[in-house]
Amino acid sequence: MDKQVIQSVGFRNIEENGEIVGFQLKIRLPYYRGVYLSQIRPGHLIVDGESFGENEIMWRVNGEDFTYADMRKDCTRHWHPMEPATLIVKKPGGLKQGFHDLTYGFCCTHSYMPPFMEALEDPDKPAVIYFREFGQNTNSRRLLIV
């Protein structure tokens, strides 16, 4: 696992029945403790300027796939900091060969911290109150598609 949130392993196009139907990348949870899926506040994935919203991204956690609607109400499945999640995006033709600039934003709720802190945070912007053990909301990386 890489220390960076966006992992170098796992970034590739997805092929189904001989067609490229989309792409995937992996992210790790940069928080010092794991979270239930309903605690995640996903933002946007930006790929070379093209934006994908939370409803266009499927999360794969521990081998199971979740839409954003599924995740919001799932407080029993847990995302562990040592198990990167896969983000799956539908995009006919996928991403072309070469470099891609990726930025993804997400944050989490913390029941033991005052609620105003969550209200301040926008998953698509750098943390207003930044703790290193909570990680940064937005993370970027430049990676290659073969």
* Site residues (CB under 8 A) for another protein, limited to 13-42: 32-36, 38-39, 41
Exposed/middle/buried for 22, CB within 10 Å: 0-12, 13-18, 19+?
buried
Alpha-carbon span 28 to 12, nearest angstrom: 17
Q: Where on the phi/psi map is residue 85: left (φ > 0), alpha (ψ -120 to 50), or beta?
A: beta
Query: Site mask, another protein, residues 63-92, x = CB under 8 A?
Result: ---------xx-x--x-xxx----------
Residue indicated by tokens 């005052």? 114
Q: What angle do CA 58, 63, 67 make, to 5 degrees?
A: 20
Of 41 and 141, the one with the shorter C-beta distance to another protein is 41
Q: How far is the CB of 75 from another protein (least distance, A)?
A: 4
Stretch touching another protein by CB under 8 A, among 43-51, 52-60, 85-93, 104-112: 104-112
Determine if 115 is a binding residue for another protein (CB under 8 A). yes
Alpha-carbon span 127 to 42, nearest angstrom: 14
How much helix, strand and coil, in percent to the nearest 5, is found in the chain?
10, 45, 45
Of 33 and 90, the one with the shorter C-beta distance to another protein is 33
Of 36 and 145, the one with the shorter C-beta distance to another protein is 36
Of 16 and 132, the one with the shorter C-beta distance to another protein is 132
Whether the CB-CB separation of 47 and 83 falls below 8 Å is answered with no
Determine if 60 is a binding residue for another protein (CB under 8 A). no
By the criterion CB under 8 A, which residues form the site for another protein? 1, 3, 32-36, 38-39, 41, 62, 72-73, 75, 78, 80-82, 109, 111-116, 131-133
